[in-house]
Structure 1
Amino acid sequence: MKILVTGGAGFIGRWVVKQLLKDGHQIWVLDDLSNGRQENINEFMKHKNFMKFIKGDIKDIPLLEKLFFNNGYDLCYHLGASINVQDSIDDPISTFNNDTIGTFQVLEQCRKHHVKIVFMSTCMVYDRATNPDGIKETDPIKPASPYAGAKISAENMVLSYFYAYDLPAVIIRPFNTYGPFQKTGGEGGVVAIFLKNKLDGKPLYIYGDGTQTRDLLYVEDCARFVVQSGYSNSVNGEIVNAGLGRDISINDLAKLTVKDESRIQHVEHIHPQSEIQKLLCNYEKAKRLFDWEPKISLEEGIKKTEEWIRTTNLI
């Protein structure tokens, strides 16, 4: 297939591109490099099926029109977005423009050219997990940040195009993804930040009391999930979760990362109102619809990620 990946130079995007190339598709990557890095995809540039990297904005209508008209895509993985929860609270306009308006512009091109869209949403749209089996797609949502609100708005637009125009579309909600090529600074990559600080001999800082939990999904498992959701017609019009199905408190994650607990420090939460106290994924639907399940344990994933951070120059 001919496939466009928006945000394809980002952390998850580059793993999606790698999987798609491995599966034999022709790939175009559109990324403005606000979150992504061209170094993430340099290794693919000479691949015979890597067609082009375009540095550009998903809100650039003439650019999108040109790409879709010229290349005849079969499928679009829409991963391009503002992804920082704290930034969305400080600057909600940029997040709304990128995550909602940007998604609308991509949707319009998919509608005009009848291209299936896989929309990358987030587990941050959910309220806290209350069921011991984890959060299901039918559980309550709670937009506790403009990031979550923008993603929910975009989800609703994607579903409206499925119903109004019969556009093949799927919404995916991966839980907290980590692994090689994730940035080791800023917000959102707690595993990468902890490991980097560990290797640099710095303290591991925990926001709040550290009892909040995360369901941590290794990036190659996540990429497999993203890719497979695009291949399967059984998920059109659906919202689907992916996670490890196991949660861990930030306190326990810090202890798993560094054995010396004196290096763990608690600091005041920057935006406590956006914190989800318990995140635990139920991925039964992905298993049922297209036989996806995670393969990499948390311990193995952390080991792989630490080795990458230790040996890379891309930090």
Structure 2
Amino acid sequence: MKKVLITGGAGFIGSHVADRFLLNNYEVIAADNLVTGNIDNINGKNIKFFNIDIRDREKLEELFKNEKPDYVIHLAAQVSVSSSVEDVLYDAEENITALINILELCKKYNTEKIVFSSTAAVYGIPEEVPSREANKTAPLSPYGLSKLTGEEYIKMYSRLFGVNYVILRYANVYGPRQSAHGEAGVVSIFNDKIKANGDIFIEGDGLQTRDFVYVKDVSGANYICATEDIKNETFNVSTNTDISILKLFNTMKKYSGYEKDAFHKEARKGDIRNSRLDNNKLLKNTSWKPEYTLDQGLKEYLDK
């Protein structure tokens, strides 16, 4: 039985990735410091859990030495754009220094492959829509920059030390277990307000567009890119479709029975107007394909 180590394994995406590997009879190890992860996401499942901060090289090495994972799915990260602006050093420690710890141990213990979770934020203001993997990267925040720097470290470890990798740049991920607190996605924020029958606020005119991808499609991409014969590639993970925030609200309103109208507030400064990721490279090079349209994903999510 092969082993997979999922950093951030108790988190929103990480716990779904764990579910996907369990479904395929892998031995699953989750490492999480539970700062944003939730142990309830993995309780009762056949998962070996380690409460570890991946900045702690000594504890992390002990885990690698004892478990010797075949694959590492690296999801643990500081993911808040606003927090990255407020505390640039912490963002760099979590997203760059901790990643180097992981890469050093992948090298030392001959891990077959690392799958790294990156982000559409590396593109900054897109030079074209949809954004393609070969497009210019110009992140607007420390978060986007730390993720892009992480990508470059991974490529360097591949060139110098033969560490195999796949980098996945996510569009806007949504689905069950996503917290509506902190730097949450707009879908989870709307869902939280809908369930509480609270007021919903849309920034600006609501005509800004985003590409939303269901978390189960993201977990599928992680599983496929780890286990298929693919290495040293960068892929966008998306549905390659976009929707305005206003239309998103109206769709969720229709499916949930929410009766209030949304309020509009001032647009966020520096907000990207339109964002969509081209997923053709992932479709052509792997067996992955999105199983959920936005309508299907929202219906399943709102039913939970």
TM-score range, shorter chain: over 0.9
Match of 2:29? Answer: 28
Correspondence for 2:233 among 238, 254, 264: 238
Unaligned runs of 5+ in 2: none
Counterparts of 2:261 and 2:87, CA distance in 1: 33
Q: Is the 8 A contact 1:202 1:263 kept in 2?
A: no
Q: Is the 8 A contact 1:124 1:276 kept in 2?
A: no
Correspondence for 1:122 among 95, 119, 122: 119
Match of 1:139? Answer: 135
Q: Is the 8 A contact 2:224 2:287 kept in 1?
A: no
Counterparts of 1:16 and 1:262, CA distance in 2: 35
Q: Is the 8 A contact 1:178 1:216 kept in 2?
A: yes
Counterparts of 1:143 and 1:246, CA distance in 2: 22
Counterparts of 1:227 and 1:249, CA distance in 2: 30
What's the CA shift string for 1:183-234, capped at 9, x where partnerless? 1223232111111212211121122332221100011111000111111232
Correspondence for 2:221 among 220, 225, 233: 225
What's the CA shift string for 1:87-123, capped at 9, x where partnerless? 1112222111101111111111001112121111111
* Structure 2 counterparts to residues 172-191 of structure 1, below 5 A: 172-191=168-187
Match of 2:39? Answer: 38
Query: In angstroms, what is the RMSD of aligned CA positions?
Result: 1.6
Match of 1:91? Answer: 87
Deviation at 1:262, TM superposition (A): 5.6
Counterparts of 2:273 and 2:180, CA distance in 1: 23
Q: Is the 8 A contact 1:124 1:148 kept in 2?
A: yes
TM-score (norm: length of structure 2): 0.94
Counterparts of 1:93 and 1:130, CA distance in 2: 29
Task: Report how many aligned residue pairs link the two structures.
Answer: 299
Q: SS at the partner of 1:144?
A: coil
TM-score (norm: length of structure 1): 0.91
Match of 2:10? Answer: 9
Counterparts of 1:262 and 1:290, CA distance in 2: 43
2:205 alignment partner AA: D
* Structure 2 counterparts to residues 244-263 of structure 1, below 5 A: 244-258=239-253, 263=261
Unaligned runs of 5+ in 1: 309-315
